[in-house]
Amino acid sequence: MADSGVRTSAIPTGPRWLAPAALAVVALVAFALHFRPWEVAFLEEWPLADQWQHDGFLSVVSTSGWTLSRPLHLVLTFVGLAIGGGSPAGIFAMMGLVAAALVVFTVWALRPVTRSFWVSLAIGAFAAMHPLFAGGYLQRFLPAQTATLGFVIAAGLLLRWLLDGRRGHLVGTFLALVLGLAVYPGTAVAAPLLALVIGLAADTTWRRRLAGVVAAIASSALVTLYSLVITRLIAPDTQTYETSNLGGAVQGPRQFIELVGGTLIENGLSLVAGVIGIAVLGAVLALTGAIRPTAGWIIAGTAIVSPLCTLVFFGNVAWLVDIDRIQYATSLGLLAALLVWGSTMTGALPRLTTVVAVLLVIVSIGGGVRGVRHWQPYIALQHQLFQELKPAMQKAKGDDIVTIVDHTGTFGGIYTLPQYYIAAAAHVMNDDDSPVWLCYEKGDPANSGANLCKQEDTGTDLQLVTAYEVNGGEVDIYVGKPESDD
């Protein structure tokens, strides 16, 4: 691999303290973007936090059936709840630590094979701050980012296997991918792509290339077999996340292309721009000689096919119209392309390489800030609701029901507190277990996560406590008495 720089560790230029300082700064920026304890949870974290505050570690047992198909899915979430005393704020701490670890481990992954520490750091910034994946700044995607960490560690071990042929590195590649997939299966398609393109770009033997691809495919196949088949043998009467969603599987390639393509056109033009940008980067690096030409075209090709990593979500059509999932899977493919860049530089045109690396860091940080800002209107909406709910929850006594009558069609959407999350959220934020119900009246616009107001849900003798304006309409908050059986 001498001609590709694969046997040359990165030697940072400048003072000795500069590289560790830069690594620390980028890791701290990644941590800070994810650690936002003043915000709130968003979806699944609300009932988890509510349950933790009541049951503590017993919550792990009550969720074990649902997560049997991905057994490590909630480990870091529960660690966050434990250190936060049941507050979702603790989950943000875990998100920050995973992001910082992604920076460090990406630099570690490329260390034996790259000629530029700064390129490694830039790729680490991309992995940690996922500028094309805004959902990564939500607590619900902590497992996804943890799986990305496993993906990066596997890449580092794979590169070492291709370099020295030590079997321990190959076994480590397999185990790192399996552990990541046991947290979140979103890397199941990207992992074989990573092994293929890293292997093709490396100056190594075909035996090592083939073994790396086989290890990646085997890890994905094993976890898929476990999730869909073995879990049914272990607990045949238990509904897991995977088995409960298989009824809506994609019917064929045409439907897959239509769903993903339509979602990208409607909501993912920035992602498309990112795909094109990295494809162009590969071509430029190849044509200028900054990397070996073959590697440059591999980068371009990997970027172009990166949306196919969304095949991992074939099990339900709803997942393929979810831009967050599409952004996540595609970003993994783009990360694989960038890892090829980091491992195949020739040492030529160092100024161009440094400029591109700096631009990638700037884009990653800017995209991260944009990702955080994307969710702020939803966060503000939740904060306002919790504030307005407080007087009603304080007024409610015993079995009294707090009812939110939304005349605006704002609440009840996937990102605006559907009914099955709003009660848990109100309990956590107001430290009050009063029943909370979300509904709308006839003629009101409505989201699927809200229900038509009915007396058996809202109770009787409703007393208006608060009325406030949202999106040009009114939201009323009542306290009512439960219906009597007499």
pLDDT one-digit tens code per residue, 249-271 = 888 999 999 999 999 999 999 99
Mean pLDDT of the region 101-126: 96
Mean pLDDT of the region 7-35: 84
pLDDT value at residue 284? 95
Pair of tokens at residue 320: 């393929």
CA gap 54, 58 in Å, rounded: 9
Q: Which residue has the higher pLDDT, 346 or 29?
A: 29
Enumerate residues 6+ apart whose C-beta is below 8 A from 177: 150, 151, 154, 187, 191, 215, 216, 219, 220
- Percent of all residues in the chain with a pLDDT value above 70, rounded to a whole number: 97
Mean pLDDT of the region 419-430: 90
What is the per-residue burial (b if ≥16 Cβ within 10 Å, else e) of 184-210? Answer: bbbbbbbbbbbbbbbbbbbbbeeebbe
pTM, two decimals, is: 0.93
Mean pLDDT of the region 297-310: 98
Would you place residue 346 in the very low, low, confident or very high pLDDT band (cuts 50, 70, 90)?
Answer: confident
Neighbour order of strands in the sheet with 401-406: 451-452, 436-440, 401-406, 473-481, 460-470
pLDDT in tens, 187-209: 999 999 999 999 999 999 999 99
Mean pLDDT of the region 164-178: 98
**Per-residue pLDDT at 24 exceeds 80:** yes
Q: Which residue has the higher pLDDT, 364 or 484?
A: 364
**Per-residue pLDDT at 181 exceeds 90:** yes
Mean pLDDT of the region 364-390: 96
pLDDT value at residue 3? 39
pLDDT in tens, 70-109: 999 999 999 999 999 888 899 999 999 999 999 999 999 9
Pair of tokens at residue 416: 């605006």
Nearest to 425 by CA among 445, 449, 447, 448: 449
What DSSP letter does each residue of 231-242 carry, written as one string?
Answer: HHHH-TT---HH
Q: What is the mean pLDDT of the chain?
A: 93
CA gap 184, 147 in Å, rounded: 6
pLDDT value at residue 410? 94
Choice among 284-288, 291-295, 416-420 with the minimum mean pLDDT = 416-420
pLDDT value at residue 432? 87
Cβ-contact 45, 89 below 8 angstroms: no
Residue 336 phi/psi, 5-degree rounding, is -60, -40
pLDDT in tens, 146-167: 999 999 999 999 999 999 999 9
Would you place residue 115 in the very low, low, confident or very high pLDDT band (cuts 50, 70, 90)?
Answer: confident
**Per-residue pLDDT at 175 exceeds 60:** yes
pLDDT value at residue 11? 53
